Amino acid sequence: MNRKFALIHLGNDDSYGLCFVAGELLRQKQHITWLDGDEPDIVAAILHTAPDFVLFSPLSSNYARSLE
């Protein structure tokens, strides 16, 4: 079953973990949308893609912001 995933990159450019997740999702033929979490209206951008799942960059320095 194909699912839609929104991958949200927050903060700095160290997003290796999210890149690995994206690669695995693409290998499984899932649909991904990569979004910059610093976009002015990120919530609208996420809602526009209507994802089944929203994933955030897995950096502990972004943990508090991810919870927002």
pLDDT tens-digit profile of 5-32?
Answer: 999 987 766 667 888 899 999 999 999 9
How far is Cα 12 from Cα 65, in angstroms, rounded to an integer?
A: 13
pTM above 0.75, yes or no: yes
* Domain at 4-67, CATH class: alpha beta
Q: What is the pLDDT of residue 3?
A: 95
Sorted by where each begins, the domain ranges of the chain are 4-67
Per-residue pLDDT tens for 42-65?
Answer: 999 999 999 999 998 766 666 676
Task: Note whether 23 and 43 are within 8 A (CB).
Answer: no
